A and B are shown apart, each in its own frame.
Chain A
Amino acid sequence: MNEMILISIYIFVLAIFVGFEVITKVPPLLHTPLMSGSNAISGITIVGAILSAGHGESLLATILGLLAVISATINVVGGFMVTDRMLGMFKKDKKQEAK
């Protein structure tokens, strides 16, 4: 086991703790937007997908990369947009307009 993987494990463990701390403070009112929003964040795989799709040397790797970019982009774009749409409904001023 090299140094780098150890640092990554450190980061992983600490991030889990940060996640627990931050997310326990989200009220049940917003649990659905939390799920769709965190879903969008898990679309961060798009970073890896871009690197795979742009590699350009192996056709198979590139095609897998393309499929990864498509899936991850659906996750990112869809996730953030739908969360924004939902959170807009929790705004008070917007409600007045609607009435």
Chain B
Amino acid sequence: MELDLITKIVYLVASVMFILGLKKLSSPKTAQKGNLYALIGMLLAIAVTLFDQGILDYTYIIVGVIIGGLIGAISAKKVAMTDMPQMVALFNGFGGIASTFVAYSEYVKAAGVVGTTDVVISMILSLLIGTVTFTGSLIAFLKLQGWMTSAPIVFKGQSFFNGLILVATVVLGVLFEFDNSIEMYLLIIVAISAILGVTSVIPIGGADMPVVISLLNSYSGLAACATGFVLSNNVLIIAGALVGASGLILTNIMCVAMNRSLANVLFGAVGVEGGTTASGSGEKKTVTRYTATDAGMIFDSAESVIIVPGYGLAVAQAQHVLQELASLLEARGCKVRYAVHPVAGRMPGHMNVLLAEANVDYEKIVEMDMINEDFQETDVALVIGANDVINPAARYKKESPLYGMPILDVDKAHRVMIIKRSLATGFAGEDNELFYDEKTMMLFGDAKGMVTEMVKAVKEL
């Protein structure tokens, strides 16, 4: 009894450490300490659990921690920052499956007599959410890693099919409540949940991945929560609720940044036509090609530059040479800042990490709402690998899929430089009039190659 009390108090301390840790993430100055706080909370919770009297054999625990620890440590050390989204997706999945395993193990331990209805409900939720998180995250991982097409995969009656699985889960759950000894019900629930995870993520296109990862992040928290209810363990409930809330907030931010409803992202299958080239609505528009030397001349007299990086920058691995260009310009007395759209990159905040990795000072990275006013007083807006997030059609063209999406007001700058491989459209398939504007300088080529040439051009000034 004594030990039980101590355990519960330590769990409370751990919960407080998690909350404090997340609180410290509100500033880049304290964030690393915050992560440490959360880690200490976790270690405390683990340590006190090891004293539990129900533990008779430590072999499997030690083996599990060694295997899991090695896999986790190696992947955390090796992963490239560009691959962070798929890594987080995979980690989400492991969190989910852990909940499934624990819940099922609880059932086995209970030997057919689970107990009260609330435990049965929690157990089924734990199996459902945990398994959906696992298979859903695997699909997200495969899509982000490029091992599976990032285009939406749809079949007839997909939403109906998914709804059917949910209904079936409820029915099986009720049947299971009547007779806890029939294990087959639970096995079927796990199996159809696995299918649900797959069928609910495959129709979501590559551009919507930030939403999906955020949502799966939330699910992994909720799965932990459900497991907490199964075990009547409050630290799981609190930690799971925090993560669940965090994932939901990020999901919402991503949806707002794309002006899409969550339902539209999940069921809309946007990008299914796979339109990649500008269809051109009749009129032939002309584009003037510029070279890095032309750009250098403009930079010569520029006093302020705002760089708008998109995911194309990261794909081309051009962030480091871009930082070199920015330093050169700053040395010439030019004010350089970075404008980051909320959906730049493949997950929330991804672009900021990529820039930080390239040693860009985070104080020069400005959010969309804070910098949009400044474009009109800016000499050059340099756009690299971004398209939809600067498309003015989002402001007025009602029939466009982009309509209503908040964009960076790049077109208000005195000159606009756009580095792009071709005139292809972005994910939304909407042509960008900014390419044809006379103040726009189109620089065709690979981002890294073009920025490298720009560096040379500026050095020669």
Residues of B within 8 A of A (CB): 15, 18-19, 21-23, 25-28, 31-32, 34-36, 38-39, 41-42, 45-46, 49-50, 52, 54-58, 60-61, 63-65, 67-69, 71-73, 75-77, 79, 81, 84, 87-88, 91-92, 94-95, 97-99, 101-102, 104-106, 108-109, 111, 116-118, 213-214, 217, 220-221, 223-225, 227-247, 249-250, 253, 340, 342, 347-350, 352-353, 356-357, 359, 361-362, 365, 367
Contacts and interface: CB of A to CB of B under 8 A. Distances in A.
A28 B353 CA distance: 11
Interface of A: 1-2, 4-5, 8, 11-12, 15-16, 18-20, 22-58, 60-92, 95, 98-99
Nearest to A84: B35
Interface of B is mostly: helix
Given A45-B98, A65-B60, A8 B229 contact: yes
Contacts of A50: 46, 49-50, 52, 55, 61
Given A2-B116, A15-B238, A41-B239, A77 B69 contact: yes
B361 to A, nearest CB: 7
A5 to B, nearest CB: 5
A11 B234 contact: yes
Contact of A4 (B63, B232, B253, B367): B232
Contact of A85 (B49, B76, B240): B76
A18 B246 CA distance: 10
A74 B97 CA distance: 11
Point out which of B50, B102, B340 has the most chain A C-beta atoms below 10 A from its C-beta: B102
Contacts, number: 379
Contact of A8 (B41, B49, B232, B353): B232
Interface of A is mostly: helix
22 contacts: A2-B118, A8-B228, A18-B242, A22-B26, A36-B91, A44-B45, A49-B101, A51-B54, A53-B61, A54-B52, A54-B56, A64-B104, A65-B101, A65-B105, A68-B97, A68-B102, A74-B72, A74-B75, A81-B77, A90-B32, A90-B362, A95-B359
